[in-house]
Chain A
Amino acid sequence: MRAPLQRALVTGLLSLGILVATLSLVAIGLSGIANGQPPSATSGPYPPVKDPDVAKGYYVAVQGDCVGCHTVPGGLPFAGGRPLVTPFGTIYSANVTPDKDAGIGRWSADDFYRALHEGKAPDGHLYPAFPYNYYTRIGRADSDALFAYLRSLPPSPNRSPRNDLPFPFNVRALMMGWNLLFLDKGEYKPDPAKSAAWNRGAYLVEGPGHCAACHTPKNLFGAPRTSRDYHGGDIGNGWYAPDITPNKRTGIGGWSDEELFQYLKTGRNVHANAAADMGEVVAYSTSRMTDDDVRAIIAYLRDRPARADDSPKKPDPAVMKAGEAVYVDTCAACHRMDGAGSMAMFPRLPGNPNLQQPNPGTLIRVLLVGSRSLPTDARPTPATMPAFNWKLRDEQIAAVATYVRNSWGNAAAPVDVDTVTKMRKALGADRRTLPDGYPTDMHHPNPETVSSPHTDSRQNGTDQAGTAALGQP
């Protein structure tokens, strides 16, 4: 436990900064990844690894999904520069290739362990967008192996852009206070009362997997609210990382072990297709884990306390009727009249926890701008939900969202029109041309997945095709 005085001092310092910041602090998230597109997911290390120590390090990198944040679309793996949009500003991931100037080529294994363990680089404090508050659980041997793996990569001279953080967040020393308050430093300590599998799962979830970085809500300082571990978190851009406690309605309580295993190994099951940030987590991390590790994660999550259920407000029957009309007209072709969907293509809606989160953000976002499942080796088809921003009004989206949240035994608070209007504006889905330059109308229906409008045929072949086929999740 930390001293209350210490906490109050640092809180005061940080509050000053928050007053200065003009950004909305309603949606606190640290990991919204902007306009990114990961390198294509293929099996095995990139580049392939022969040395057993390096191979061990590669597997640590898999557990931590390091490549996801440390690579820009189409760029050299681990060369950094990917923008991470936080409520405090945009942070660019570091080049962690062994380049002596741009990367971590001058670091020692001690430096690297300190970065993972304490969030301190040789030249100053790191921001917790680099989730050292989880990586601190990684042991020294794994840290050294990961370091060896990164040292084996081809060096890249790529220099990440400067972080775009307003004062005072651009003062790295501020993180000393954050660390005092929120960093619970130390390697993972097994619970002798639990099984080896449980402990392995706990380590992966709490440590390198840094699941809570998204699935636990954050406080004003971007730190996890540990009293609500894994209850679900708003991660920005409209996405809501769902409850992953054993709650039967909103969490994983309604999924069998086999279904959870399918989801983490292939990105799909009958209930859900992994897209966006979770799509990357599956593609680069969980799908590459050993079957035993995936089962350990499931065993640990199953054993966590379930989020206490609430009794959501009942929807207005008139809204349900309007929502049903929209559903039959626009959703039933894929999801079927009874919501049964199609295994690993179109998610089943009855009992679907993603629909029933207290925060309907993901559902509204997906209705407005669509989403694309990230392809994996086992499930290469990038099944896609189309965008409806150009086709359905806010009232229709609110009605159909309310309808699917409250049909077939589902129960969740109704979605009000105002929430949809705000999300539409926040995503830029209220305009004919989105901020990234893509028009959105019936001829360009899906800004999420539309390919770049190149006309240079030497460049537009693989690049363009890859964009659309593999796509932004």
Chain B
Amino acid sequence: MSEKLPSVDVLVVGFGWTGAIVAQELTDAGLNVLALERGRWRDTPTDFAPTFAQDELRYMWRHALFENLAHNTLTIRNNISQTALPMRVMGSFLPGTGVGGSGVHWNGQTWRFLPSDLEVRSHVTRRYGARAIPADMTIQDFGVTYDDLEPHYDRFEYLCGTSGTAGNLNGQIQAGGNPFEGARKRGYPTPAMRQAYAPTLFAEAAAKLGYHPFPQPSSNLSEAYTNPLGVQLGPCTYCGFCEKFGCGNYSKASAQTTILPVLMRKPNFTLRTEAEALTINRDSTGKRAVSVTYVDAQGREFEQPADLIFLGTYALNNVRLLLLSGIGTPYDPRTGEGVVGRNYAYQRTSFVNAFFDDKILNPFIGAGAHGMHIDDFNGDNFDHGGLGFLGGGYLGVLQTGARPIETHPVPEGTPTWGGAWKKAVAANYLKTTTISTHGGVMSHRGNYLDLDPTYRDVYGRPLLRMTFDYTDNEQKMAHYITDRAADVARAMGPREIKVVYRDGSWDVVPYQTTHNTGGAIMGADPKTSVVNRYLQSWDVSNLFVMGASAFPQNPGYNPTGTVAALAYWSLKAVREQYLKSPGPLVHT
């Protein structure tokens, strides 16, 4: 039996980036907000102080900041003919847990989606005709446009202090920025990071080939910054420990370094850690959420009532909570009907190593979002006519810090162990760089999420089951952009290059990206989406679902900027419309 607790105005489930943004906005609106977080309290000085934060073994290899798979995991298969098995060791993606969520160990890569990314079905149909979209490719428009989101992208970038060079200011293309980006109303709050040697060589070679290199927009800050809430960030030291690490220098934007110092002092905000949500409970009509049942670290169950509920857990967990709570019709890949779990997508990555004899590249200098890229082959920035695929990705040298356990690049033909391997590592470590590609994934009828029929978590609840593989579209896209990366690599003048396409089925073992998207997607039609354009559940109007679970497909960018922009977009509608007149914000 669960103990029933006093009701609150707003209950936030999951306390990462979106949870903190929701709580900040709605406490500002005068509401009492309670956040439930399954993990522990974490803060810069207590959990990732600069005296020990740069510990590759502890964080990268022993997964100190990530989800505990013995507690909860998911099962995985490539297609419906297989039996899914539990992921018992993390590899391909690394969801976090604890206060700040995955936003603690992110890289700080802060992108905006292209205007065409947000309206991809309409855009492709317009440019190439409806027949360009294969029958099983279930891509659809987000239901919001770039112009809708622009002020909210801006809001997030100014919260974080994002460092970058604008490429398009009010329609005017700017030298040194990304000329393909949507128009921004003002420049980045801080200048782009300084670039190390390898990204500089990449940019020179790319420019020589007629491409348009620009610095990675970075929330590892180039200089000290005080955000509009009065919260301060320090300048990045290029220590090379961002991805999979917390930042000890207050230099990487996270909930801890941008929002919590203000939010935690508010009397109308409460955070309850080590509180894992089990189900969302509804009233007898099924159209109104009344409470969330959660379990604490001692295994005690509580029922927390609230007027308004926001899901802000990791994308995969949002979908699972909806499925476990019976909210929305589960997706069926056989019929193509149902919505919850539909359009799960991921990303497609590959890389090219370039080995030099005459250049010392000091690859240990780095930051999570430090590098130079080209966007010439992302989204629909290039003509796909005759190419046989849709979408693309950015590519470039992202120098995140060649950490010693992880980084030992060796040329083709080197033995995989022993004296010759060691010699090759020593010879090449300082003189090698990598051009990586970061490609999108178009959603597909066969890629989806549901509940596993066999495996259960520590509380006896079914695990989430992921059915996913790359389609022909992604394989062709990856080959095409990897070949372009190889072109630039050769133009950098190395001794030799090594091209890794990562062909074949999606493999859960090597790390690729923690950009799992979809499953609770947004859209204009309740038959093909779980939430409306304001991230409000079609079925339960006092439930909002934040996060990348709302992406109908996964563009070729890191998701955090758009996740945050969508949260601000949704909260604007909540503040200006919903609170005045609770109920559906979109009528069908």
Using a CB–CB cutoff of 8 Å, the interface residues on chain A facing chain B are 40-42, 330, 333-334, 342-346, 370, 372, 375, 377-384, 386-388, 391, 442, 445-446, 449-451, 455-458, 460-462, 464-466, 468-470
Contacts and interface: CB of A to CB of B under 8 A. Distances in A.
B273 A464 contact: yes
A367 to B, nearest CB: 11
B267 A457 contact: no
Nearest to A457: B296
Given A379-B232, A461-B272, A464-B273, A445 B264 contact: no
Given A333-B237, A387-B49, 4 more contacts: A42-B265, A333-B248, A334-B249, A445-B46
A212 to B, nearest CB: 31
B50 interface: yes
A461 B273 contact: yes
A207 B247 CA distance: 44
B46 A449 contact: yes
A interface SS class = loop
Contact of B250 (A41, A381, A457): A381
Nearest to B296: A457
Contacts of B224: 342-343, 345
B234 A462 contact: no
Contacts of B381: none
Given A449-B45, A468-B41, A460 B273 contact: yes
B19 to A, nearest CB: 13
Contacts of A370: 45
B52 A445 contact: yes
B302 interface: yes
Contacts of B99: 465
Interface in B37-73: 41, 43-46, 49-52, 55
Given A40-B265, A380-B229, A386-B51, A468 B46 contact: yes
Contacts of A346: 234
A462 B275 CA distance: 12
Nearest to A461: B272
A460 B36 CA distance: 11
A383 B249 CA distance: 9
B267 A42 contact: yes
Contacts of A466: 264
Contacts of A379: 230, 232
B50 A461 contact: no
B49 A380 contact: no
A453 to B, nearest CB: 10
Contacts of A455: 274, 297-298
Given A345-B234, A375-B261, A465 B46 contact: no
A344 B234 CA distance: 10
Nearest to B258: A381
| Most chain A CB atoms below 10 A, which of B262, B264, B267 | B264
Interface in B222-238: 224, 226, 229-232, 234-235, 237
A464 B234 CA distance: 25
Contacts of B226: 344
B51 A330 contact: yes
A34 to B, nearest CB: 21
Nearest to B15: A465
B46 A345 contact: no
A344 B224 CA distance: 10
Contact of B272 (A41, A342, A343, A458): A458
Given A345-B250, A465-B273, A386 B234 contact: no
Contacts of A451: 41, 43, 46
29 contacts: A40-B265, A41-B265, A42-B267, A333-B248, A334-B237, A342-B234, A346-B234, A377-B230, A380-B229, A380-B230, A380-B265, A381-B261, A382-B45, A384-B44, A384-B45, A384-B49, A442-B51, A442-B55, A445-B51, A449-B43, A451-B43, A451-B46, A457-B298, A458-B272, A460-B41, A460-B272, A460-B274, A460-B297, A470-B265
B296 A391 contact: no
A469 B264 contact: yes
B interface SS class = loop
Contacts of A330: 51
A391 B50 CA distance: 12
A333 B239 contact: yes
Nearest to A464: B41
A346 B50 CA distance: 13
A462 B202 CA distance: 48
Interface string B155-171: 00000000000000000
Interface in B244-258: 248-250, 257
Nearest to A343: B224
Nearest to B270: A462
A381 B231 contact: yes
Nearest to A384: B45
B271 interface: yes
B260 A469 contact: yes
Contacts of A387: 49, 51
Contacts of A382: 45, 261
Contacts of B297: 455-457, 460
A327 to B, nearest CB: 14
B49 A446 contact: yes
Contacts of B229: 380
A163 B229 CA distance: 43
A344 B225 CA distance: 11
B250 A383 contact: yes
A470 B51 contact: no
A344 B273 contact: no
B33 to A, nearest CB: 11
Interface string B271-296: 11111000000000000000000001
A278 B572 CA distance: 40
Contacts of A391: 51-52
B42 to A, nearest CB: 8
Contacts of A457: 272-275, 296-298, 300
A461 B262 contact: no
B273 A372 contact: no
A458 B237 CA distance: 39
8 nearest A-B pairs in the assembled complex, by CB-CB distance = A457-B296, A461-B272, A384-B45, A386-B49, A469-B264, A380-B261, A381-B232, A457-B274
| Most chain A CB atoms below 10 A, which of B44, B231, B237, B297 | B44
A465 B271 contact: yes
A51 B539 CA distance: 51
Interface in B343-390: none
Contact of B232 (A334, A377, A383, A442): A383
Contacts of B298: 455-457
A370 B51 CA distance: 11
B52 A380 contact: no
A458 B269 CA distance: 14
Interface in B193-235: 224, 226, 229-232, 234-235
A380 B46 contact: no
Contact of A386 (B41, B50, B261, B275): B50
Contacts of A465: 41, 99, 264, 271, 273
Contacts of B43: 449, 451, 468-469
A289 B452 CA distance: 62
Nearest to B3: A458
A266 to B, nearest CB: 10
Contact of A458 (B52, B267, B302): B302
B520 to A, nearest CB: 26
Contacts of B49: 384, 386-387, 445-446
Contacts of B267: 42
A388 B300 CA distance: 38
A226 B297 CA distance: 56
B304 to A, nearest CB: 10
Given A334-B50, A387-B51, A449-B46, A461 B264 contact: no
A164 B177 CA distance: 67
Contacts of B269: 462
Nearest to B260: A469
A381 B52 CA distance: 21
Nearest to A468: B43
